[in-house]
Amino acid sequence: MASTVANEVDPPVNGPKSTEEQRGPPLQYRVIAKCSVTKARVGVMTVRHADVDTPVFMPVGTQGTLKGILPDQLLALDCRIMLSNTYHLGMRPGTAVLEKAGGLHRFMGWPRALLTDSGGFQMVSLLQLAEITEQGVKFESPYDGSECMLTPERSMEIQNAIGADIMMQLDDVVKTTTTGPRVEEAMHRTIRWLDRSIAAHGRNDDQSIFPIVQGGLQPDLRRVCAAELTKRATRGFAVGGLSGGESKDEFWRTVHLCTDLLPEEKPRYLMGVGFAPDLVVCVALGVDMFDCVFPTRTARFGCALTRAGQINLKQRTFAQDMRPIEEDCECSTCRTYTRAYLHHIVTVEPVACSIVSVHNVAFQLKLMNDMRNAIQEDRFAEFVKSYMAVRFPDDTVPQWIRDALAAVNINL
């Protein structure tokens, strides 16, 4: 497929230097260490607001805030990048307010990096759809019932007003388990919508578009999509259309294929993945960036994350447990509160959501940091084996994890 898209990265040959030339591209990525066994790597992704060490987990603040966590608390955890949602912010407060505030960074008091998704996923997962056409996605506003249209151009307009360091293109999202010609149609439309997104992007000196590899569970479609997207001069890539009901076997094989198809020198973002074992496996498969609402959502139900798995603090077994959630965790929650105290307040006192959310986000960030250290010291394979032995004791590692890790030379 021919592309008439202007190059995002190359500077003009003649004339005065652009802002980008003076400051450098708004996203620069360099790999600083590679695992000698798997496809895992450590990198630094430099954007306007932060140097982000990868692999990285990005907490999700859909409406411009993490539920239960203040920006200052995220800074104390050394969180470098978080995610917000274009669809929700475009509906409320809207672009006029965001522009008047000087962008989402200033509006929410967050000084570090932001990534915004395009809103396409919400169209499919949350809303009564009128229809998806070549123009865009027509839907009914959940706020006032009015008819709205989200196009690639409108998604870019909202994201330029938000001012996120990384913006996702609007893609044509179908449920992962969809089969038939609709999957191929969506994949080709996603490519065309990328070209429209790049053409509409008005702040290329400050923000970077990531295309999204689609194609469902069909390897041939994923190959076609990746081949087309990588012809466009974007600064990173995402893998979409997973974590939507497919089998874990289909999941890991698709991730493995896509990381092979995407460029070594650019970051690879796997959308919507956040369970700890999945993070470990997908880092081994060569993924650099992850996001998921899971850590904060499960906290609201009184559940905390540990290396041995999730624990439900509502259970009476914790009523007299004077240990912290995780013995070696240095977060403010584990330094201050016992499981017994948290059992006493979870799902009863509103502050419990915040206390457990702080730990759960800290847990995810520490897991990523531990993996980065292991990769840099070239002991990642040993780290994975140790992690799986704790998470799945007595040889209960799921077969899909065994198969995925075996594909990158780790045999459990």
What span, in angstroms and rounded, lies between the C-alpha atoms of 122 and 45? 27
Query: What totals of helices (H) and strands (E) does the chain contain, helices first?
Result: 17, 17
Q: Count of residues for the chain? A: 412
Does 73 show up as a binding residue in the annotation? no
318 carries a ligand binding annotation: no
Q: Which is nearest to 27 in space by CA: 207, 161, 291?
A: 207
| SS3 label, residue 303 | strand
Of 271, 227, 210, which Cα lies nearest the Cα of 29?
A: 210
CA–CA separation, 169 vs 225, rounded Å? 14
148 is in an annotated binding site: no
Q: Could you please report the per-residue DSSP string of 184-222?
A: HHHHHHHHHHHHHHHHH---TTT-EEE-EE--TT-HHHH
For 254-266, letters b (16+ CB in 10 Å) and e give bbbbbbebbeeeb
359 is in an annotated binding site: yes
CA distance 113 to 47: 7
In the numeric block, which tokens belong to residue 221? 């479609």
Contact 118, 105 (CB under 8 A): no
Contact assessment for residue 410 and residue 37, using Cβ atoms and an 8 Å cutoff: yes
Tokens of 224: 């076609």
For residues 87 and 411, give the distance between their C-alpha atoms in angstroms, rounded to a whole number.
Answer: 42
The H or E element that residue 1 is part of is none
Residue pair 232/198 in contact by the 8 Å Cβ criterion = yes
119 is in an annotated binding site: yes
Residues 6+ apart with CB under 8 A from 198: 5, 6, 8, 209, 232, 234
Query: Which residue type does 262 have?
Result: L
CA distances (Å), origin 248, targets 14, 281, 294, 400: 51, 11, 17, 6
Q: Tell me the catalytic residues.
A: 117, 291
Does 353 carry a binding-site annotation?
Answer: no
* 331 assigned to a ligand binding site: yes
The verdict on whether residue 380 carries a ligand-binding annotation is no
Q: Was 201 annotated as part of a binding site? A: no
Angle (CA) 365-265-220 rounded to 5° is 95
Q: CA-to-CA distance for 340 and 52, rounded, in angstroms?
A: 36
Task: Say whether 117 counts as a known binding-site residue.
Answer: yes
Q: How many CA atoms lie within 13 A of 5 on its CB side?
A: 26
Binding site as annotated, residues? 117-121, 171, 214, 241, 329, 331, 334, 359
Binding site as annotated, residues for substrate? 117-121, 171, 214, 241
Binding site as annotated, residues for Zn(2+)? 329, 331, 334, 359
